[in-house]
Structure 1
């Protein structure tokens, strides 16, 4: 079971803001509280607290991706320019996984699988014993479709905020109710054709 999907920045969003990590999109598939909340909080305060908890995941992914790129001798992207080839960008993306303990920030232990495509991070928050190979395949497919159809990396780099409906369609087809799909090539081809048809509307 996948509990959440995040899209966030990995590179500075403006000059002199190298430590800034901006969450562009979040979708959770479970109704359970994502963090233990003190009693008596009003709805607005609760939302702000939960937003900060999502930033915890994004910041940890940014740190993990930075360390991975430094260890591999890669230079960080200095801009948010779109890739010339979305498929190649996803294939060459940095990828990693780490565990979140109880209370960091979820009530139960979770596994975070992340993909760093140039200046963007795509992350899945999963159950600790989820099939990570299947989750990675799904995450790469989601990232490829996001780059291909939604142009998340194009200037000014925040188009995702204007295309939430299309992002929702991708998740509903590729990750229905947070369930990873075991699918053969024919089913995936049919699914991708359906997505392509919708995106051209």
Structure 2
């Protein structure tokens, strides 16, 4: 099962200090960890929300660090993709996997898959026993749909205003945090379904 999906920045934003990242969108699947953990059970709902937000920020910072190292090691220069070249941007994106130990930041061990597309990072946090090839395919599919249908790489793109559309994509491609095995026909019908909703 997927624990959460994130979209966050990986390039400097004028408001942020160096080495910081901004979470633009996050969606957590499954039960609230704070309710399951004995030491956090006494927290108010606002404190649990802040704890969850901090856990997501920790993951985003670790992914930002991994993407920065990957880009430095490769020596490639980032080139702004032209409108309509989102699919090529996803294919050329930096990607990676890392394992987070129990307590860093989630109570159990997790696996993080990330995809760095220009100035954005798409991240899936999964249970350690998940099929990583399936998770990577789902992450690439999600990121490509987000970039193509929501025009996230274009100037003036407001990811925060498009969260309901991202929710629809997640409900179709990652229902309740479950990874789906997709055959060609099912993928086509899913893409038609998503396209018809996004045209509304």
> TM-score, normalising length from structure 1?
0.91
Aligned equivalents of 1:110, 1:16: Cα separation in 2:
28
**Residues 65-112 of structure 1: CA distance to partner in whole angstroms, max 9, x if unpaired?**
1111111112357xxx66430100000000000001011011100000
SS of alignment partner, residue 135 of structure 2: helix
Gaps of 5+ in 1: none
> Does the CA-based 8 Å contact 1:82-1:151 persist in structure 2?
no
Of 33-42 and 161-170, more deviation after overlay is shown by: 33-42
Query: Which residue of 1 is the match for residue 14 of structure 2?
Result: 14
Counterpart for residue 61 of structure 1: 63
Match of 1:124 in 2: 124
Q: Which moved more, 1:10-19 or 1:33-42?
A: 33-42
CA deviations on 1:147-176 (whole Å, 9 max, x unpaired) are 11112233344x111111100100000001
Counterpart contact for 2:81–2:89, Cα < 8 Å: no
Alignment-derived partner of residue 166 in structure 2? 167
Aligned residue number for residue 54 of structure 2: 52
CA distance in 2, matches of 1:108, 1:16: 30
Give CA deviations for 1:101-141 in whole Å, capped at 9, x if unaligned. 01101110000000000000000000112111111111001
Residues 95 and 174 (structure 1 numbering): CA distance in 2 closer, same or farther, change over 3 Å?
same
RMSD of Structure 2 on Structure 1 (CA): 1.9
1:163 is paired with a residue whose SS is: helix
Q: How many residues align?
A: 197
| 1:73 matched residue in structure 2 | 75
User: Counterpart in 2 of 1:141?
Assistant: 141
Within 5 Å, give how 1:19-34 maps onto structure 2: 19-33=19-33
**Structure 1 match to 2:103:** 103
- Further displaced range: 129-138 or 8-17: 8-17
The answer on whether the counterparts of 1:11 and 1:76 sit within 8 Å (CA) in structure 2 is: no
| Alpha-carbon distance between aligned partners in 1 of 2:53 and 2:82, rounded to the nearest angstrom | 29
Deviation at 1:199, TM superposition (A): 0.6
Whether contact under 8 Å (2:138, 2:173) holds in the other structure is yes
